[in-house]
Amino acid sequence: MHFLGDKSNPQTCRWHAFKSTTELEQTLVAKILWIAQQAIDKKGSFHVVLAGGSTPKKIYESLRGAKADWNAWHVYYGDERCLPVDHAERNSRMASSVWLDHVAIPAQQIHPIPAEEDVIVAAAKYAQLVKNIEFFDLVLLGLGEDGHTASLFPEHDPGDSQDAPETMIIMDAPKPPPQRISLSARRLSKTHLLFFIITGINKSRAVKDWRSGVNIPATTVTPKNGVDIYIESALVETG
């Protein structure tokens, strides 16, 4: 792994490049567990927001076999697709099947977005839930080929203004399904630590834009402590 330093961007970005996906994933598993234990030792709980999609799947699988104080974990989601609760494309279904269903996190401390319900009702419910949390301990995010993160897409309001709501309703996402619910960029920014996880050569254009100062949706998430971007070296060299 090597540290690439800041690039020109309104965010404070720390780029960490890895020669292999396996090295990146192993590093992140260890970091997540360490951050969790630090938070639990300090205040008795750990509040984490999960990324969806396929990129973090192996990380979640590795966490399944880890030793942790699971009773103190509180799990949230950055976004969800408006699909039936057991649909294979649901972010919550993926995380549950490979990890959460197999560890001792109390069920009432796992908070999926109820995106199987009416989209307006579901977004309001989740907004009310996360409104009570001043800061998350850790937010995990991915990056799409078009520069989107969570379900904050280009040409859509990312919710990065000071008065933006906690959740954003997306009715016309450029990839299926069209209806989604996402935490806003402002809400995602209210975290002590934020990790972007980026793998796959198809992300190279978005990475190039990001490192060149283009305002892709991922740049709208701006926590006070900056963001750490964990990325494959080949993507940085290409991007």
Q: What is the mean pLDDT of residues 210-215?
A: 92
Q: What is the pLDDT of residue 173?
A: 96
Q: What is the pLDDT of residue 6?
A: 39
Structural domains in the chain plus CATH codes:
2-238 (3.40.50.1360)
Q: What would the pLDDT profile of 44-100 be if each residue is shown by its tens digit?
A: 999 999 999 999 999 999 999 999 999 999 999 999 999 999 999 999 999 999 999
SS3 67: coil
Residue 170 DSSP class: E
Q: What is the mean pLDDT of residues 26-44?
A: 98
Q: What would the pLDDT profile of 3-19 be if each residue is shown by its tens digit?
A: 333 343 468 999 999 99
Is the separation of the CB atoms in 96 and 63 below 8 Å? no
As a whole number, the mean pLDDT across the chain is 94
**Peptide linkage before 174 cis (omega within 30 of 0):** no
Instruction: Give the pLDDT band of residue 238 (cuts 50, 70, 90).
Output: low
At residue 42, what is the residue type? K
Q: What is the pLDDT of residue 11?
A: 86
Answer left, alpha or beta for residue 188, where phi above 0 means left and psi between -120 and 50 means alpha: alpha
Q: Model's pTM, two decimal places?
A: 0.94
Q: How far apart are the C-alpha atoms of 166 and 163, rounded to whole Å?
A: 9
Q: What is the mean pLDDT of residues 104-113?
A: 98
Query: What are the two backbone dihedrals, phi and then psi, of residue 76, each rounded to the nearest 5 degrees?
Result: -130, 175
Q: What is the mean pLDDT of residues 107-117?
A: 98
